[in-house]
């Protein structure tokens, strides 16, 4: 049995996990695949520091050319992250006749079209299961087991950091900033968690899911995005009273006018399985026309789950399975029928609104008039605790929480803009989507 030589770029959190699984499970992988997969070289900027897993210094290098130019290496694993030099490394691997495995969703969301074109041109493949939801085999499930279906919707929790923060706020009763600090302490959030909490990471993953599931040629920057920064601990109590939990949901939903895509904090009904996904877990619910609803849950990040997905991709690539899937993927292809993307103004859905208003007769009439003018009807409303407004007057205020019936997003946003100008309404109106 001759060895199949592969190489790895980036010996960080995930790279060390991949080295660990390839070195420590070498015999197991050989038995189940019938191939001797040899991690022949690892390139990192730092080839001196000790890692958790013992790695022979003989295979470490800081010279990427020693991998690009080695004809015996057939697969390159890109785990350095970011855009450059990751993009150049992937292109050079492909140009040098090597298949690629990557976990880099930012790179694919930004340069997927270019990289996939280069792979097709060079007769090579790119496997990227770990780029969306870490250890959950969601991309391969959509691309293989579910491929006879027309996918109707994908609803997912794809960012473990924000799910952890929301879970802390809900169960620990902590504020948003304390929950972020706890996430950082436990290693779930980076020192700068902006891309996780503002929804950027989630829209990048949703762009990949939308390409794969619906053939939607969408730029992640064009996807409607709201982060979790404006969610307050009080919203969990109100949501709970109304029978909902709050989750950062990534949604792709096919309607008559095209595909609706958005990432937003969303009130999810208790009995929806997505509502029960806690802490740093990810989950994806896919609805296909034949299969119905299927639900996946697991860890979307971390060394071991992500390494598990990458090792699966390496094995598929070595066995030639990636080649079969890659050629049938409805992803970043020039010739595919493009699914139209709905303008966010035309989304239809229920919304949760929270705002403070002066507690005096006539105020309700003021905002009811705005809703009526914009064709928005209210499904339920709660008025909560009365506090004194902090403006040295003796005015009282009420917290108003309401859930609208399905309404057009453009109308709702116009109503919110108008409501925020009414003097009796204090401050900004907090809005979240609602999913029953």
Ligand X SMILES: NC(=O)c1ccc[n+]([C@@H]2O[C@H](COP(=O)([O-])OP(=O)(O)OC[C@H]3O[C@@H](n4cnc5c(N)ncnc54)[C@H](OP(=O)(O)O)[C@@H]3O)[C@@H](O)[C@H]2O)c1
Q: Which of residues 88-127 bind ligand X (CB under 6 A)?
A: 103-104
Q: What is the DSSP letter of 2?
A: P
- C-beta of 102 vs 125, nearer to ligand X: 102
381-384's contacts with Cβ under 8 Å and 24+ in sequence apart are 382/238, 382/241, 382/242, 384/238
Grouping H, G, I as helix, E, B as strand and the rest as coil, residue 289 is coil
- C-beta of 92 vs 262, nearer to ligand X: 92
Q: Which of residues 122-181 bind ligand X (CB under 6 A)?
A: 130, 134
Q: Is residue 415 reached through a cis peptide bond, with omega within 30 degrees of 0 on the bond before it?
A: no
- C-beta of 8 vs 218, nearer to ligand X: 8
329-333's contacts with Cβ under 8 Å and 24+ in sequence apart are 329/143, 329/212, 330/211, 330/212, 330/215, 331/112, 331/116, 331/211, 331/212, 331/215, 332/112, 332/113, 332/116, 332/117, 332/211, 332/217, 333/116, 333/215
Closest CA to 350 of 254, 221, 264: 264
Closest CA to 59 of 1, 2, 8, 4: 8
Q: What is the C-alpha separation between 143 and 150, in angstroms, rounded? A: 12
CB of 212 to ligand X, least distance (A): 17
Q: Assess contact for 273 and 89: CB atoms under 8 A.
A: no
- C-beta of 251 vs 280, nearer to ligand X: 280
CB of 151 to ligand X, least distance (A): 23
CB of 208 to ligand X, least distance (A): 12
Q: Which of residues 30-69 bind ligand X (CB under 6 A)?
A: 43-46
Q: What is the C-alpha separation between 388 and 296, in angstroms, rounded? A: 47
Q: Is residue 416 involved in binding ligand X (CB under 6 A)?
A: no
CB of 13 to ligand X, least distance (A): 4
CB of 80 to ligand X, least distance (A): 4
Q: Which of residues 231-290 bind ligand X (CB under 6 A)?
A: none
Stretch that binds ligand X, among 73-81, 140-148, 161-169, 174-182 (CB under 6 A): 73-81
Q: Assess contact for 302 and 134: CB atoms under 8 A.
A: yes
Closest CA to 73 of 1, 140, 9: 9
Stretch that binds ligand X, among 75-83, 121-129, 177-185, 233-241 (CB under 6 A): 75-83
- C-beta of 4 vs 67, nearer to ligand X: 67
Among 8, 9, 214, 374, binds ligand X (CB under 6 A): 9
Contact residues for 173 (Cβ-Cβ < 8 A; gap 6+): 233
Q: Is residue 8 involved in binding ligand X (CB under 6 A)?
A: no
Among 162, 167, 204, 306, binds ligand X (CB under 6 A): 306
Instruction: Supply the residues annotated as catalytic.
Output: 205
Q: What is the C-alpha separation between 135 and 128, in angstroms, rounded? A: 11
Q: How many residues bind ligand X (CB under 6 A)?
A: 22
Measured at CB, which residue is nearest to ligand X? 12
Q: Is residue 193 involved in binding ligand X (CB under 6 A)?
A: no
- C-beta of 8 vs 287, nearer to ligand X: 8
- C-beta of 13 vs 149, nearer to ligand X: 13
Stretch that binds ligand X, among 10-18, 141-149, 184-192, 278-286 (CB under 6 A): 10-18
Contact residues for 434 (Cβ-Cβ < 8 A; gap 6+): 244, 266, 267, 349, 350, 351, 352, 403
CB of 189 to ligand X, least distance (A): 11
Among 76, 81, 112, 199, binds ligand X (CB under 6 A): 81
Closest CA to 207 of 194, 221, 226, 228: 221
CB of 84 to ligand X, least distance (A): 9
Stretch that binds ligand X, among 183-191, 259-267, 278-286, 300-308 (CB under 6 A): 300-308
Give the interface with ligand X as residue ranges (CB under 6 A).
9-15, 43-46, 79-81, 85, 103-104, 130, 134, 301-302, 306
């Amino acid at each position: 049995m001759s060895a199949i030589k592969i190489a790895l770029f980036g010996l960080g959190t995930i790279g060390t996990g991949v080295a660990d699984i390839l070195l420590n499970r070498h015999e197991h992988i050989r038995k189940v695949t019938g191939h001797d997969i040899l991690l022949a070289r690892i390139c990192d900027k730092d080839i001196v520091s000790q890692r958790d897993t013992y790695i022979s210094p003989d295979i470490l290098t800081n010279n990427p050319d020693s991998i690009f130019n080695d004809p015996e290496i057939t697969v390159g694993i890109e785990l350095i992250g970011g855009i450059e030099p990751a993009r150049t490394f992937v292109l050079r691997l492909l140009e040098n006749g090597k298949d690629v495995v990557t976990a880099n969703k930012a790179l694919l969301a930004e340069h997927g079209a270019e990289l996939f074109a280069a792979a097709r041109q060079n007769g090579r493949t790119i496997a990227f299961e770990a780029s969306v939801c870490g250890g959950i085999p969601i991309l391969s499930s959509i691309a293989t087991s579910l491929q006879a279906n027309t996918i109707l919707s994908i609803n997912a929790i794809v960012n473990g950091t924000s799910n952890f923060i929301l879970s802390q706020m809900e169960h620990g009763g902590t504020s948003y900033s304390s929950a972020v600090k706890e996430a950082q302490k436990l290693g779930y959030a980076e020192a700068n968690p902006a891309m996780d909490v503002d929804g950027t990471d989630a829209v990048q993953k949703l762009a990949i899911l939308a390409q794969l599931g619906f053939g939607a040629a969408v730029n992640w920057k064009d996807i409607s995005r709201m982060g979790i920064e404006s969610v307050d601990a009080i919203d969990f109590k109100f949501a709970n009273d109304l029978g909902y939990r709050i989750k950062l949901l990534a949604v792709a939903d096919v309607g008559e006018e095209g595909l609706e895509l958005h990432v937003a904090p969303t009130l999810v009904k208790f009995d929806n399985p997505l509502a029960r996904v806690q802490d740093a877990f990810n989950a994806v619910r896919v609805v296909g026309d034949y299969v119905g609803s299927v639900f996946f849950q697991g860890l979307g990040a971390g060394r071991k789950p992500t390494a598990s997905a990458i090792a699966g991709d390496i094995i598929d690539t070595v066995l030639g399975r990636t080649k079969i899937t890659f050629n049938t993927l409805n992803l970043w292809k020039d010739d595919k029928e493009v699914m139209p993307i709905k303008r966010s103004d035309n989304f239809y859905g229920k919304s949760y609104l929270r705002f403070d208003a002066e507690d005096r007769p006539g105020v309700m009439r003021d905002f009811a008039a705005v809703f009526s003018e914009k064709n928005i009807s209210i499904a339920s409303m709660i008025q909560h605790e009365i506090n004194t407004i902090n403006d040295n007057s003796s005015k009282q205020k009420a917290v108003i929480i309401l859930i609208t019936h399905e309404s057009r997003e453009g109308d709702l946003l116009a109503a919110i803009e108008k409501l925020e100008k009414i003097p009796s309404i204090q401050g900004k109106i907090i809005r979240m989507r609602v999913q029953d």
